[in-house]
Amino acid sequence: MKTKNLHFLFFILLAFNFNCKQQVTAKLSEYKYTEQKATITCNPDTDALLKEAFYSFENDIIKAYDKTGKNKIKAYRTFINFSIGNRVQFDKILSKHTKEVFDALKTYPNLWVDNHLNYNSELVSCLASKIADNNLKTTFNALVSTNSMSTKVFTPAIRANSRYVNDPYLLTYIALDYFYAKMFQLDFTKINFETNTNSTEKAK
């Protein structure tokens, strides 16, 4: 009887530990974009963090690539083109808040594999399933299913369809793969956030 009880206790503890590992362990101290329009609905436990990541990313690239703040499409196109050409100067465009968001995202369960976005994660699967444009959705899922997905391969499809700028699910993917994933390679001790072109103001 005692053996059965011990086995039962073991499985309870195992389930508890597994559940703990599914949580984002780093907490974001401040949410600056709570009043902004909702973005995605994938996981109620982490949707708020992904919304914050979305708007912090968008705020940074708009300030960097569209000084007037009136042409979001221009900012996105410039960022994506620069990203593929490895010309994004992250040390010049990152806001301190974005770095704090990244610190929280790093602990998102199963989202990263070897410091790269995990295309087979539950979050990415959710984003892919809700991409608005059918052609982009088909391309995205085909690349993932054949293990061919990468920013380099997917970018031509984005460039050919500017409607992505109105799709929060696709934009959240772009933020994660084209922006936050690149931060694993940065030495943040060499970045002076006070002199960057960004501030902590909300995106317009």
DSSP letters of 11-31?
HHHHHHHHHHHTS--SPPS--
What confidence score (pLDDT) does residue 25 get?
63
Residue with the larger pLDDT of the pair 69 and 113: 113
Q: What pLDDT, on the 0 to 100 scale, is given for residue 78? A: 96
pLDDT band for position 70 (50/70/90)?
confident
CA distance 198 to 178: 18
What count of Cα atoms within 13 Å lies in the side-chain half-sphere of residue 47?
13
Lowest mean pLDDT among 2-6, 80-84, 192-196: 2-6
Q: What is the mean pLDDT of residues 102-130?
A: 96
Indicate whether 102 belongs to any domain. yes
Average pLDDT over residues 41-64: 96
pLDDT at 68: 83
Instruction: Please indicate, yes or no, if residue 202 is contained in any of the structural domains.
Output: no
pLDDT score at 20: 41
Residue 131 in domain: yes
In a domain, 45, yes or no: yes
Q: Which of the four pLDDT bands, split at 50, 70 and 90, describes residue 203?
A: very low
- Read out DSSP for 46-73? THHHHHHHHHHHHHHHHHHH-TTS--HH
- Note down the domain range covering 24: 2-195
Higher-confidence residue: 174 or 14?
Answer: 174
Question: How many domains, in total, are found in the chain?
Answer: 1
Mean pLDDT of the chain: 86
Give CA 4 to chain center in angstroms. 44
Asked whether residue 155 is assigned to any structural domain, the reply reads yes
pLDDT of residue 192: 85
Residue 204 in domain: no
In terms of Cβ atoms closer than 10 Å to its own Cβ (0-12, 13-18, 19+), residue 191 is: middle
Structure tokens given for 42:
């994938």
pTM for the full predicted model:
0.84
CA dihedral 34, 203, 128, 177 (to 10 degrees): -110
Worst-scoring range by mean pLDDT, 52-56, 173-177, 178-182, 187-191?
A: 187-191
If you average pLDDT over residues 118-147, what whole number do you get?
Answer: 97
Q: Is residue 201 part of a domain?
A: no
Q: Which of 47, 79, 77, 82 is nearest to 60 (CA)?
A: 79
Residue 78 in domain: yes
Max intra-chain CA distance, the chain: 73
